[in-house]
Amino acid sequence: MKNKTIVSLKNYHTFHLEISAESVLPIKSIVELTSYFINKENQRKWIVLGEGSNVIFSNHFEGDVLIMKIIGIEVLEDSTSYQTLRVNAGTNWHEFVKYCVEKNLGGVENLALIPGTVGASPIQNIGAYGVEVKDVIKQVNAIKLNDLTQVHYSNSDCNFDYRDSIFKNELKNKVIITSVDFMLTKKSFYSLNLSYKPVIDFLTKSDIKEPKIKDVFDAVLSIRSSKLPNPDEIGNSGSFFKNPIIAKSKFDVLRQNYAYIPYYELPNEEIKIPAGWLIEKAGWKGYRKNDVGVYPKQALVLVNYGNAIPEEVINLVNKIKISVNKMFSISLQTEVNII
């Protein structure tokens, strides 16, 4: 691992802000990871990134940025109906999804095209089109930083919740995920998740009456590509805000003024409302000032048209939060981590 002095992070996170760090260190093995913490200065700051798809840097980072490059997929168990895979943390998430689809393993096809790496997926409990990654995680493997030993967390240990986990809370900066074990279902024993209308509409329009795993994968690819910008072309971090969850009693009041508000019913008398709809209704869809804006095709996505600066992004985030709260009495929370 070779240290660099003052490095641009523009190409190390998908929002592509021109921001810098003291050094960028690729981590290609668990040995390199543990060696870094053995040898680092005690007070030196650090952060681990995969592809930087869920982070915004607000200032120059005075420390080391560790880029997780431990990649690869290993079959741990192959039974009649399931296959358990150990996937290293630096593996590209979408490439892993494609691998599963090609092997006719069901469980992650609804999560196609989500940017980032496998190691980041349990932290955020990524989800899309009716599926969350917690549904297929068997175990998360990590390095415990207080003694640099390997530790394993079962699904129940992870305290998964909507876009949340123990790794964002109690274990933040205490462990580093090195791999994730997934239990995928073989096609003959698998039931597709077709709970989201856009997926059903795509399959119907394509005249697919008996969809297979790849059909759902293709549907998600088409839907996401049609409304979300490619980070290689326009800097963005995907969905910037969480979809808020409110009590049904509050939703009933809200619907008196907004009869056509979209929603999803959850257990325990709770309702999930699309944050993109709230942001669009508040007038932000397509907004642009200088090189920061709200994507014209999807109000949930903030974008960098080339030379946005962190202060402009954070100002826009705060303005959106204030206006949505004023209009709907709903507090938006960011899905993206602002550092």
Tens-digit pLDDT profile for residues 197-226: 899 999 999 999 999 999 999 999 999 999
- Interatomic CA distance for residues 233 and 166, integer angstroms: 33
- The whole-number pLDDT of residue 196 equals 87
- Interatomic CA distance for residues 339 and 218, integer angstroms: 35
Domain ranges (residues) in the chain = 7-68, 73-192, 235-338
104 touches 127 (CB < 8 A): no
- Interatomic CA distance for residues 280 and 275, integer angstroms: 9
Query: CATH 3.40.50.720: does it fit domain 235-338?
Result: no
Which residues are known to be catalytic? Answer: 163, 239, 335
pLDDT exceeds 70 at position 1: no
What is the topology classification, in CATH, of domain 73-192? 3.30.465
What percent of the chain has a predicted confidence (pLDDT) above 90?
A: 92
Reduced to 3 states, what is the DSSP secondary structure of residue 100?
A: helix
- The whole-number pLDDT of residue 5 equals 63
Query: CATH 3.30.43.10: does it fit domain 7-68?
Result: yes
Write down the mean pLDDT value for the chain.
95
What percent of the chain has a predicted confidence (pLDDT) above 70?
A: 99
Beta bridge partners of 176: 143
- Interatomic CA distance for residues 242 and 151, integer angstroms: 30
- The whole-number pLDDT of residue 2 equals 47
Beta bridge partners of 78: 83
Rounded to two decimals, what is the model's pTM?
A: 0.89
